[in-house]
C-alpha cells in the first residue's frame, strides 16, 4: 500500500555532481539548507554571498554586479537602526561600520566573479514573485531592512518580468562560463504574510517563468523542491512550528530526492566515507584514554588522510 504520492524522478544521465564539481547556490533560505548538506558532505560549494535573496530580480542584480565587477561606494549604503545596510544584500551583511560593510560587499563581488567563471553547477532557488520597489530611487530592493513600509511599493512580478530576469541570469553566467549546468527550483517555503491566495499566485508565476527557460539540451534544468513538499510531504508534521518552513526531516527528505537525481554513484560512495568520519568526530567517548577509543581515533585519522589524498579540498 502506497501512503504518499511520489514524484517520478529519474537520475540525471549527464552532468551529475561529484567531488570535482564546483557548486554555486543562490536564492532563498532553502538554498542555504541545501548548501549546509553540501558543506556537511564536504563538496566544493559557494552559497549566497549577499545572503538570502528571495526574488529573481535580486539574484539578477547580484549576478550583473558580479560579472561586471561593480564596486560599491558610500552612495550604495545607508544608516538605519544603528547599522549600515545595503538594499542589494541581506541584513546578514549589515555592519556597524560603513567601511566594514563596503569592504564586505566588494569582497563578495570579487569572490562571486571568480567563482562564476569556474563553477560546474549553479543552483538557483526562487522564493517569491512579490518584490518591493524603493519609491525614492524607483529600484527594486533585495531586503527592506525594516525601513518604514511607506517608503516602498509592493508589486507582484509578472511571469514575463520573471522570465526576462531569469534569461538575463542565464545569459550573463553563460557569457563567462558556457559549459555550466544550471538547476532552477522553487522554494517550498510558503510566504503566508503575503496572503494564502497571493502566495499561490506568486509561486505560480515563478513556476511558469522557469518552465519557459528549462532546456536540458542547454544544460538548464528544473528540480521540483516545491512539488515534493506539497505532494510527497503533504502533512504538517514536516513543517517547523510556524507551519510554513520545512523542518529538518523535510529538508533531509528533499535532499535525498535531490541526491537521487543529481549526485553520482561514485560521489555517494565518498559521501558515506565522509559521513563516517563526521559522526566519528562528533562521538564523545565515556573514556577518552581507553585503548579502544585510541584505536578508533587512529582508524578515523587514517580514513581522513586517505580521503584528503584523493580530494585536496576536503578538510575536517
Q: What is the tens place of the pLDDT at every residue in 4-26?
A: 889 999 999 999 999 999 999 99
> How far apart are the C-alpha atoms of 11 and 2, rounded to whole Å?
22
Residue 276 is assigned to a structural domain of this protein: no
Predicted confidence at residue 2, as pLDDT, reads: 79
Q: Measure CA of the first residue to CA of the last residue in the chain; give whole Å.
A: 43
What is the pairing mode between strands 83-85 and 78-80?
antiparallel
Residue 316 is assigned to a structural domain of this protein: no
* Total Cβ atoms within 10 A of residue 6: 10
pLDDT of 288 over the 90 cut: no
Predicted confidence at residue 285, as pLDDT, reads: 85
Predicted confidence at residue 286, as pLDDT, reads: 86
- Supply the DSSP string of 168-221, one letter for each residue: HHHHHHHHH-TT-EEEEEE-----GGG-HHHHHHHHHHHHHHHHHH-BGGGTEE
Predicted confidence at residue 264, as pLDDT, reads: 97
> How far apart are the C-alpha atoms of 270 and 98, rounded to whole Å?
44
Q: For residue 86, give the CATH number of its domain.
A: 3.40.50.1110
Predicted confidence at residue 244, as pLDDT, reads: 93
pLDDT in tens, 60-106: 999 999 999 999 999 999 999 999 999 999 999 999 999 999 999 99
Its domain, for residue 113, covers 22-265
pLDDT of 271 over the 90 cut: yes
pLDDT of 117 over the 90 cut: yes
The share of the chain scoring above pLDDT 90, in percent, equals 92
Cα within 13 Å of Cα(43), Cβ side: 29
Predicted confidence at residue 154, as pLDDT, reads: 97
* Total Cβ atoms within 10 A of residue 240: 13
Burial class (CB in 10 A: 0-12, 13-18, 19+), 217: exposed
Under DSSP, the state recorded for 49 is T
Beta strands in 16-137 (DSSP E): 22-27, 44-47, 78-80, 83-85, 121-126, 130-134
| Residue 270: band (very low, low, confident or very high) from pLDDT cuts 50, 70, 90 | very high
Predicted confidence at residue 4, as pLDDT, reads: 85
Predicted confidence at residue 287, as pLDDT, reads: 87
pLDDT in tens, 165-206: 999 999 999 999 999 999 999 999 999 999 999 999 999 999
Residue 272 is assigned to a structural domain of this protein: no
Split into its structural domains, the chain has a count of: 1
Residue 298 is assigned to a structural domain of this protein: no
Residue 300 is assigned to a structural domain of this protein: no
> How far apart are the C-alpha atoms of 77 and 80, rounded to whole Å?
10
Q: Which of 114, 258, 121 is nearest to 181 (CA)?
A: 121
The answer to whether the predicted template modeling score (pTM) of the entire model surpasses 0.85 is yes
Residue 142 is assigned to a structural domain of this protein: yes
Cα within 13 Å of Cα(40), Cβ side: 14
Cell of 222: 528544473
pLDDT of 301 over the 90 cut: yes
Predicted confidence at residue 156, as pLDDT, reads: 98
pLDDT in tens, 144-172: 999 999 999 999 999 999 999 999 999 99
Average pLDDT value over all residues in the chain: 96
The per-residue b/e assignment along 69-86, b for 16 or more CB within 10 angstroms, e otherwise, is ebebeeebbeeeeeebbb
Beta strands in 57-180 (DSSP E): 78-80, 83-85, 121-126, 130-134, 139-141, 152-156
Residue 110 is assigned to a structural domain of this protein: yes
- The stretch 260-282 carries a mean pLDDT of 96
Residue 192 is assigned to a structural domain of this protein: yes
Asked if 29 and 225 touch (Cβ cutoff 8 Å), the reply is no
> How far apart are the C-alpha atoms of 21 and 15, rounded to whole Å?
9
Beta strands in 18-64 (DSSP E): 22-27, 44-47
Amino acid at each position: 500500500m502506497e501512503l504518499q504520492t511520489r514524484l517520478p524522478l529519474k537520475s540525471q544521465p549527464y552532468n551529475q555532481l561529484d567531488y570535482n564539481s564546483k557548486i554555486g547556490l543562490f536564492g532563498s533560505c532553502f538554498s542555504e539548507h541545501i548548501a549546509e548538506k553540501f558543506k556537511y558532505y564536504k563538496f566544493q560549494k559557494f552559497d549566497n554571498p549577499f545572503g538570502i535573496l528571495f526574488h529573481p530580480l535580486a539574484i539578477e542584480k547580484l549576478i550583473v554586479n558580479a560579472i561586471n565587477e561593480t564596486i560599491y561606494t558610500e552612495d550604495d549604503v545607508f544608516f538605519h537602526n544603528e547599522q549600515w545596510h545595503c538594499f542589494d544584500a541581506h541584513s546578514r551583511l549589515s555592519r556597524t561600520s560603513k567601511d566594514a560593510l563596503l569592504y564586505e560587499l566588494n569582497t563578495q563581488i570579487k569572490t562571486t566573479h571568480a567563482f562564476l567563471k569556474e563553477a560546474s553547477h549553479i543552483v538557483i532557488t526562487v522564493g517569491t514573485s512579490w518584490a518591493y520597489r524603493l519609491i525614492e530611487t524607483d529600484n527594486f530592493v533585495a531586503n527592506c531592512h525594516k525601513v518604514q513600509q511607506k517608503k516602498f511599493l509592493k508589486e507582484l512580478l509578472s511571469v514575463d518580468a520573471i522570465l526576462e530576469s531569469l534569461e538575463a541570469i542565464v545569459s550573463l553566467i553563460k557569457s563567462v562560463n558556457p559549459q555550466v549546468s544550471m538547476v532552477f527550483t522553487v522554494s517550498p517555503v510558503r510566504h503566508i504574510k503575503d496572503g494564502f491566495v497571493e502566495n499561490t499566485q506568486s509561486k505560480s508565476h515563478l513556476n511558469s517563468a522557469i518552465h519557459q527557460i528549462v532546456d536540458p539540451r542547454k544544460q538548464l534544468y528544473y528540480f521540483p523542491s516545491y512539488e515534493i513538499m506539497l505532494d510527497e510531504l503533504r502533512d504538517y508534521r514536516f513543517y517547523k512550528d510556524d507551519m510554513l518552513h520545512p523542518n529538518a526531516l523535510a529538508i533531509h527528505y528533499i535532499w535525498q530526492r535531490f541526491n537521487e537525481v543529481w549526485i553520482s554513484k561514485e560521489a555517494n560512495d565518498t559521501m558515506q566515507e565522509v559521513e563516517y568520519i563526521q559522526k566519528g568526530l562528533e562521538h564523545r567517548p565515556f573514556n577518552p584514554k581507553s585503548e579502544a577509543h585510541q584505536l578508533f581515533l587512529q582508524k578515523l585519522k587514517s580514513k581522513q588522510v586517505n580521503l584528503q589524498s584523493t580530494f585536496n579540498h576536503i578538510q575536517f
